[in-house]
Amino acid sequence: MSELYQKLEKIVSKNCISDNLYIRHAYSRTVDPVLQGVPDIVIRPTDAREVSEILKVANDENIAVISRGGGDCEFGGSKPIGDSGIVLDLKGMNNVLNLDQENLIVTVEAGISWGKLNDYLCNFGLYTGCLGPGSGLTASVGGGISHQSVGGGGCAKYGSCTNQLVSLEVVLPTGEIIETGSQANKYSKLPFNRFGNGPDFASLFCGDNGIFGVKTQVSLQVFPKPPFANYKTFLMPRKSEEISAKIFTEFRLKGIDVYDSMYFMDLLVRVGTEKGIFPLWENLKRKRGTMFYTVEANTEIELEEKVKQLDKIFLQNKAEELG
Ligand SMILES: Cc1cc2nc3c(=O)[nH]c(=O)nc-3n(C[C@H](O)[C@H](O)[C@H](O)COP(=O)(O)OP(=O)(O)OC[C@H]3O[C@@H](n4cnc5c(N)ncnc54)[C@H](O)[C@@H]3O)c2cc1C
């Protein structure tokens, strides 16, 4: 057993640390199967204090620490480069800590998945607006903030998941624990404001891939989920890249708050259906680009009106409704 292991095992409980070959190999890969390197140790902290102690030891020993949330990064960010390092598995920190229903802010441990968080919020008729990445059933909130994730739904209306960030608790590489936004003020009981307390330090950690520190707590704005929604897909005319961009612009010019919309270019539809990725489109006679929208509303009449306006935009641009 290495000296490093002996120091680290004093910080976490026995079943939260391993240098077992099989465990280390399991953590040498993520959703991306390429082998970049095998870590020396895998450790699963349960709070910021443990993370801080681990980083202090790693600093003393001059050894790399790789934060890992859901391990859904396709570009190797959450696994070691070379046979060395400590993988810090944050999935043990996956609790909702507080839901402030007056200010509509939820505070969670950074390892919670977007799926688990939104499951919890729907009990209160709430959601996170942008639902994080498309991998959100397993990807973590901390990973999403570290990647500026968009794509799991809601980004047309709410922006990237970092747009609704209120405050962070971060353990810096030195082991120091800091808080951002209103939480940097020691008299503030609960997070309520990201901006207006001096520079926006939270933004330093958005999209940092975990390089600037380990996120341990995240506070996000949450929103009431509108009770009505509709969804439609259209077959686009030939060579529709520019037309799709025009349609996106028209949504904005008409002031329609589309919840989500995505364009799939001709090539993607053709290759995707050939490979069985889009089975619903197999019967399409013409494998052209497709585009969908999702729209929400507070009343049925409001929804009908929005759908009417959106359909008009698509039809005027020679798209055909698929359903
Ligand atoms: C099927 C699929 C669909 C996807 N769809 C999308 C999409 O729609 N939009 C999109 O943007 N991406 C998408 N992705 C990519 C990826 O899933 C997301 O970027 C996701 O946010 C990563 O979260 P994670 O918890 O899995 O992070 P990980 O892969 O574990 O880590 C990602 C990076 O963040 C760092 N990190 C993780 N947690 C922390 C933390 N607590 N503190 C500090 N650093 C941390 C890691 O070191 C790493 O550099 C998709 C991936 C898959 C496999």
21 and 48 inside one domain? yes
Domain end: 195, 224, 253, which one?
224
pLDDT per residue over 234-249, tens digit each?
999 988 999 999 999 9
Residues 6+ apart with CB under 8 A from 255: none
Q: Are 205 and 146 in contact (CB under 8 A)?
A: yes
Cβ–ligand 1 distance for 70 under 6 Å, the answer: yes
Ligand 1 mutation pick, 68, 90, 95, max ligand atoms within 8 A of CB:
68
Instruction: Give the residue, out of 52, 66, 67, with the most ligand 1 atoms within 8 A of its beta carbon, to mutate for a pocket test.
Output: 67
Range of the domain at 71: 3-91
Residues 100 and 220 in one domain: yes
Q: Same domain, yes or no, for 75 and 57?
A: yes
Residues 174 and 97 in one domain: yes
Query: Interface pTM (ipTM) of the complex?
Result: 0.98
Whether ligand 1 lies within 6 angstroms of the CB of 80 is answered as no
Which atom of ligand 1 is least distant from the CA of 170? 42
Distance of CA 25 to the CA centre of its chain: 25
Verify whether ligand 1 is closer than 6 Å to residue 144 (CB atom): yes
Is residue 44 within 6 Å of ligand 1 at its C-beta?
A: no
Same domain, 105 and 214: yes
Task: Pinpoint the alpha helices (H) of 1-147.
Answer: 3-8, 21-26, 48-61, 114-121, 141-147
What pLDDT does residue 1 have? 74
Q: How many domains are contained in the chain? A: 3
| CATH number of the CATH domain containing 130 | 3.30.465.10
Ligand 1 pocket residue status of 218, Cβ below 6 Å: no
Residue nearest to atom 44 of ligand 1 (CA): 210
Per-residue confidence (pLDDT) for residue 273, from 0 to 100: 87
Q: What is the pLDDT of residue 127?
A: 98
The per-residue pLDDT for 83 is 94
| Cβ atoms 94, 113 nearer than 8 A | yes
CATH, residue 243: 3.30.70.3450
3-state secondary structure 198-212: CCCHHHHHCCCCCCC
- CA of 147 from ligand 1 middle (Å) equals 6
24 and 109 co-located in one domain: no
pLDDT tens digits, residue range 164-207?
999 999 999 999 999 999 999 889 889 999 997 889 999 999 99
**pLDDT 10s per residue in the chain (323 long)?**
799 999 999 999 999 999 999 999 999 999 988 999 999 999 999 999 999 999 999 999 999 999 999 999 999 999 999 999 999 999 999 999 999 999 999 999 999 999 999 999 999 999 999 999 999 999 999 999 999 999 889 999 999 999 999 999 999 999 999 999 999 988 988 999 999 788 999 999 999 999 999 999 999 999 999 999 999 999 999 889 999 999 999 999 999 999 999 999 998 888 888 888 888 878 777 779 999 999 999 999 999 999 999 999 999 999 999 98
Of 71, 91, 111, the last residue of a domain is 91
The closest-lying atom of ligand 1 relative to the alpha carbon of residue 148 is 11
Is the CB–ligand 1 distance for residue 210 below 6 Å?
yes
